[in-house]
Amino acid sequence: METVSPLKPAEPRDRKLSIHVVTWNVASAAPPLDLDHLLQLDKQDPNLDMYVIGLQEMSCGIMSLLSDTAFEDPWSSFFMDVLSPLSFVKGNKGGVNICLKLYGYYVSIINCHLPPHLANNDQRLEHFDWILEMQNFEGPDIPNILDHDLIVWFGDMNFRIEDFGLHFVREAVKSQCYSDLWEKDQLSIAKRCDTLLREFQEGPLLFPPTYKFDKNSNNYDTSEKKRKPAWTDRILWRLKRQPHTDTCTPRRPAPHLSLSLRSYISHMMYTISDHKPVTGTFDLELKPLVSVPLISLMPEGLWTMENAMLINYSLTPDFPSSPWDWIGLYKVGLRHINDYVSYVWVRDNQISFNDGLNQVYINISDIPETEDQFLLCYYSNSLRSVVGISNPFKIQPQAFLEEDPLGEVQPQI
């Protein structure tokens, strides 16, 4: 049996991740035929590491609810049809608040749909504060949202334009004099007054108001209500501030984590809804707080005649292992964590462990005979997430194995 000596961890290098955030109130419409522009897939090299997609007003009729219980909803299915061939995987979280841990940093992602109508601004602000102050995550040592290193908040926030009449707003939009409208944008006004909201940043509103349009057109509302155009669909972010004892000195973002906005635009070409989608593309730069992954999976060279059933993996000393942890075998291009070809419970199938190196086996009958590429993923029950992913590999032709009556594994040529 091979042994692995622990290596001295190298000084962690700065990392840069590109994140593409999408918010869209789809007004119960079905997905359009093409979303390449929305996802930047029509670019030569989009250079994106993560998609964060938040939708509002997805169809929620009784038939839709019954269907979604048994099947994936059509919007999720459509997005994954496009993104899974590019090696993106949809997580298994529900609701509108997701906590991620990236290289030791806590990131909170919030998708919201705040109360509508011009007169309900106070109610919108109350909901905003309530979401931030009252939400807590289950799990070991996960801080409150406001203590996360980065918060990305987006959605149909429903903030409107005050004071100006319909004609003035439409003429300002037509002539692209957006700066005339910024001073009366309810969110911009609130950011000047609300201490908590003031900590959130937003890119410049250099695109037309995204609400309200006649469906299947680029015309603003021509119904009897003739609602004023407004920037209801927004993307905000907040970096955690470091405390300073000197109250006269402004607080500064943590020096090891920075977020820069690459683009903040709307997409007028999509007409299925009375809202236009908005995207923000960010570059997240950070110095990793952890130098090694919690779990390292090593499939290289394992799928041979001698050790076809073995999976080697190592784990950090402080990893919170559980009897319900499992390793899944997936084809490259998986859409969801439940798309495994086979899986093993790590405790039930463990055959050896030494200095952090562990071995488990997968029964030979569960390994498919195919030329596809595969991945191994380690799922942590304690952390409720995937904590280790192997590099892609091919399963080589191998001998068949079977157990003899004494329980010993014997090769069969």
- pLDDT at residue number 400: 43
Of the candidate ranges 76-90, 163-177, 359-373, 385-399, the one whose mean pLDDT is the lowest: 359-373
- pLDDT at residue number 96: 78
Convert the pLDDT of each residue in 83-111 to its tens digit: 988 888 777 443 478 888 888 899 999 99
Comma-separated ranges of CATH 3.60.10.10 domains in the chain:
15-286
Comma-separated ranges of CATH 2.60.40.2840 domains in the chain:
295-412
Q: Is 85 exposed, middle or buried (0-12, 13-18, 19+ CB in 10 A)?
A: exposed
Of the candidate ranges 43-57, 69-83, 308-322, the one whose mean pLDDT is the lowest: 69-83
- The residue count for the chain: 413
Q: Does 331 have pLDDT greater than 70?
A: yes
Count how many Cα atoms sit within 13 Å of the Cα of residue 297 in the half-sphere of its side chain. Answer: 24
Q: How far apart are CA 295 and CA 388, in angstroms?
A: 5
Alpha helices in 221-273 (DSSP H): none
Tokens standing for 379?
């799922």
More confident position, 195 or 253: 195
Which CATH code for domain 295-412?
2.60.40.2840
Instruction: State mean pLDDT over 140-159.
Output: 90
- Sign of dihedral through CA atoms 114, 118, 120, 121? positive
Q: How far apart are CA 112 and CA 95, in angstroms?
A: 10
Angle between helices 186-193 and 121-134 (to 10 degrees): 50
Based on its alpha-carbon atoms, the radius of gyration of the chain, rounded to whole angstroms, reads 25
Instruction: State mean pLDDT over 170-195.
Output: 95
Q: Does 125 have pLDDT greater than 90?
A: yes
- pLDDT at residue number 402: 46
Give the model's confidence band at 71: pLDDT under 50 very low, under 70 low, under 90 confident, else very high.
low
Strand partners, 412: 400
Q: Does 362 have pLDDT greater than 70?
A: yes
Q: DSSP letters of 84-127?
A: GGGT--B----SSEEEEEETTEEEEEEEEE---SGGGHHHHHHH
Alpha helices in 150-293 (DSSP H): 166-174, 179-182, 186-193
More confident position, 4 or 321: 321
Say which DSSP state 223 is in.
Answer: S
Count how many Cα atoms sit within 13 Å of the Cα of residue 379 in the half-sphere of its side chain. Answer: 20
More confident position, 318 or 179: 179
- pLDDT at residue number 54: 93
Check: CB of residue 328 under 8 Å from CB of residue 55.
no
Q: Does 341 have pLDDT greater than 70?
A: yes
- pLDDT at residue number 107: 94
Give the model's confidence band at 310: pLDDT under 50 very low, under 70 low, under 90 confident, else very high.
confident
Of the candidate ranges 32-46, 155-169, 303-317, the one whose mean pLDDT is the lowest: 303-317
- pLDDT at residue number 291: 76
Give the model's confidence band at 154: pLDDT under 50 very low, under 70 low, under 90 confident, else very high.
very high
Share of the chain above pLDDT 70, in %: 79
Q: How far apart are CA 202 and CA 332, in angstroms?
A: 36
Instruction: State mean pLDDT over 119-130.
Output: 91
Instruction: State mean pLDDT over 368-381.
Output: 85
Q: Does 397 have pLDDT greater than 90?
A: no
Q: Does 8 have pLDDT greater than 70?
A: no
Residue 173 CB neighbours (<10 A): 18
Instruction: State mean pLDDT over 201-207.
Output: 97
Give the highest mean pLDDT range of 4-13, 165-174, 357-366: 165-174
Q: How far apart are CA 335 and CA 87, in angstroms?
A: 8
Stated pTM of the model: 0.82
Q: How far apart are CA 122 and CA 128, in angstroms?
A: 10
Tokens standing for 205?
């509103």
CATH topology of domain 15-286: Deoxyribonuclease I; Chain A (3.60.10)
Check: CB of residue 295 under 8 Å from CB of residue 319.
yes
Q: Does 404 have pLDDT greater than 60?
A: no
Give the model's confidence band at 38: pLDDT under 50 very low, under 70 low, under 90 confident, else very high.
very high
Instruction: State mean pLDDT over 105-122.
Output: 93
Give the model's confidence band at 139: pLDDT under 50 very low, under 70 low, under 90 confident, else very high.
low
Of the candidate ranges 125-129, 353-357, 373-377, the one whose mean pLDDT is the lowest: 353-357
Q: Calculate the average pLDDT of the chain.
A: 83
Check: CB of residue 106 under 8 Å from CB of residue 145.
no
Count how many Cα atoms sit within 13 Å of the Cα of residue 371 in the half-sphere of its side chain. Answer: 0
- pLDDT at residue number 61: 54
Cα 141 vs. chain centroid, distance in angstroms?
A: 21
Q: Does 52 have pLDDT greater than 80?
A: yes
Instruction: State mean pLDDT over 379-389.
Output: 89
Q: Does 250 have pLDDT greater than 60?
A: no
Q: Does 383 have pLDDT greater than 90?
A: no
